[in-house]
Structure 1
Amino acid sequence: MTELYNSMQPMSIISIADLGCSSGPNTLFVAAELVKLVGELCRGSDHMPEFEILLNDLQGNDFNSIFRSLLPRFQEELRPGGFGHCFVYGVPGSFYGRLFAAKSLHFVHSSYSLMWLSKVPEGLEMNKENIYMSSTSPKSVLNAYYEQFKRDFWEFLKCRSQEIVGGGKMVLTFLGRKSEDASSKECCYIWELLALALKEMLSQGLIEEEKLLSFNIPQYTPSPSEVKAEVKNEGSFSIKRLEASEITWTACGNINMDSSTNVAKCMRAVAEPLLVQHFGPLLVLDQLFDKYRTILSDRMSKEETKFVNVTVSMTRLAD
């Protein structure tokens, strides 16, 4: 943001888009930090730009909650700093298509959203013992996931290239992996353990075998080299920085809960809509995630488990 502001000033308005914003307490966190940063850069100047904050997520996102409970706190937080006017908008829709007017954005941010694919890949019939990629998945299944990721990410980059001004910035964080093996434990293990809990439900007659065998997670956790290759392939952005970082499973969630409960709650928030849509409302989610928590507790007590984040900072090339 500092580089953007210094290269484009004076700016009368700065448009910031957050893609996959959700509706939790941190929805406006990045926007607030960026506004404060520009405020510091403008300190001592008689010029303060106005801000457009554009919050995007799918149509089912609770935008009403954002504007009813989060926006007042956001405005209150910024008021003492005397920052320029901030206009906040909700923009429902998939980021795998156009969302904004051409050349209207200066800064795009997305965190923990782009690993979600636009759909479950085709050609997963041979993956029946798994709900995601795993060490036992056939090569064809791994290829199907990777090809869907490439199509989706290329489309995402192409759409953003049309919406971001030349010299504009984009920072993306994926749940990813360091390994070049798409079936490595660092990205697939969390889903393999959920699959074990589902198989326990099957053995007890609580879910149908046909339903379990046809359930697949629409996610792909890329490596840094895969992200780099697709950015280069699309051709509209230059990469300023690309890195992978780690966070242990035990660092997730509420410090007042045990780690396995935290991870189970986080994964339930992620997986519940997919599970209900596929298995139907009769699936006893409390029972499933109790089993999952028990499995997590056992594995986390025996080994160090980590998530990997892949973060890339890019600049829109001039046309």
Structure 2
Amino acid sequence: MDVEKVFHMNGGLGEHSYAQNSYLQKKGSDMVKHITLKSLEETYVSTTPESLGIADLGCSCGQNTLSTIREMVEAIDKTTSNIPPPEYRIYLNDLPTNDFNAVFKILPDFYKQLNMDRCQKHESSVFIAGYPGSFYGRLFPDKCLHFIYSSYSLHWLSRIPPGLYDKEGRSINKGKFYISKSSSPEVSKAYFNQFQEDFTLFLQSRSKELLSGGRMVLILLGRRDRSHVDRGNSILWELLSRSFATLVSKGEVKQEKVDEYDAHFYAPSRNEIEDEVKKEGSFVMDRFEMFEIEHRSGLYTSHGTEVARTIRAIQESMLSQHFGEEILDNLFEDYGNLIDEEMAIEDIKPISFIVVLKKL
């Protein structure tokens, strides 16, 4: 499956859209917002450009995207109380399949409200553009950016690791979508190799696009230690595999289709990220912190249902392409129930990292 042509968050504003089901990502980015904004302010103060270039890589769609931009503009405005603020060049990047139209449609209201909040002093100083393409490769001209932000995107790999398949093209991780207790060491190695390739290319590309002294703030899912199997992100993939096993037992999905499916996901450890940054050599580590998002149940929904809806908004494009849309309602209802059952036995605690890198 060609990830770049298929993968996208669910667009629009419907029940299963990313816009309606990205609460967890918003909460995570808000928890470390003070780090993001401080890094942006430090970058501006040290460079004082008349035109500030900011890129949001993996911006997706919905209000999360523009709320982050608003906070960045307001933060820099506050640092320039005695002088005119810079003009803001904002580049919103995601894969071409992203629902950019949903973002563009709300831009007029966004500009209007932003200018009102800024007392209409600089009505034309914020310029926002869509920039489709994979961030695993070059996107922007040389040295045109001061600040790069990426929230909950870099754990998605550029492709399903080719090392997961034998010479006949069959998966060596049958029945499992990610690294599990029953996976062979070759599975972990295939995922890690793909992460190394992708993350190195990401760093190399951004090093050419950032000015010296520019910064990147990267928020992504990770894992606590060397073990790939934990009560965090890997257990959520394991439970999704179990949900499919239930559909197979009911005759709703063929086992062969399940055996053929693998996720393009990797939760790195801190050491793995630090090693790649050091090897690539273009950045120094300003800050690295691990954090957890607290559980929440809605007024009428369980935590499992909330998580299932979030993951459906992210994974539906890939799952429907491979299995068909007709299975999704039953799949994610069962998935939410499995998460709640597992939570009753022992807590599930996915962890996130925030990484701040400064360009040398």
| TM tier relative to shorter chain | over 0.9
Matched, 1:80 2:126: no
CA distance in 2, matches of 1:52, 1:274: 32
Of residues 295, 313, 323, the one that matches 1:269 is 313
- The equivalent of 1:3 in structure 2 is 42
- The equivalent of 1:16 in structure 2 is 54
The verdict on how the C-alpha distance between 1:178 and 1:295 changes in structure 2, with shifts beyond 3 A counting, is same
CA distance in 2, matches of 1:113, 1:313: 15
In structure 1, list runs of 5 or more residues that go unmatched.
none
> Alignment partner of 1:251: what SS?
coil
Q: Which has the higher contact order (CA 8 A, sep 6+)?
A: 2
Name the count of aligned residue pairs: 312
Of residues 261, 276, 282, the one that matches 1:236 is 282
* 1:1-319 pair list within 5 angstroms: 1-9=40-48, 11-45=49-83, 47-70=84-107, 72-82=109-119, 84=122, 85-124=125-164, 125-248=171-294, 250-251=295-296, 254=298, 256-281=300-325, 283-317=326-360
- The equivalent of 2:13 in structure 1 is none
> Alignment partner of 1:129: what SS?
coil
Contact 1:134 1:184 in 2 (8 A): no
Deviation at 1:74, TM superposition (A): 5.0
> Alignment partner of 1:180: what SS?
coil
CA distance in 2, matches of 1:169, 1:75: 29
In structure 2, list runs of 5 or more residues that go unmatched.
1-39, 165-170
Deviation at 1:268, TM superposition (A): 0.8
Deviation at 1:70, TM superposition (A): 4.8
Contact 1:25 1:70 in 2 (8 A): no
> Alignment partner of 2:251: what SS?
coil
Deviation at 1:293, TM superposition (A): 1.6
CA distance in 2, matches of 1:285, 1:74: 37
Contact 2:283 2:359 in 1 (8 A): yes
Deviation at 1:302, TM superposition (A): 2.4
Q: Which amino acid aligns with 1:242?
A: F
Q: TM-score, normalised by structure 1?
A: 0.94
CA distance in 2, matches of 1:181, 1:99: 34
CA distance in 2, matches of 1:13, 1:107: 12
Contact 1:51 1:87 in 2 (8 A): yes
Q: Which amino acid aligns with 1:210?
A: E
> Alignment partner of 2:186: what SS?
helix
Deviation at 1:229, TM superposition (A): 0.7
Q: Which amino acid aligns with 1:40?
A: K
Give the % identical residues: 40
Contact 2:156 2:266 in 1 (8 A): yes
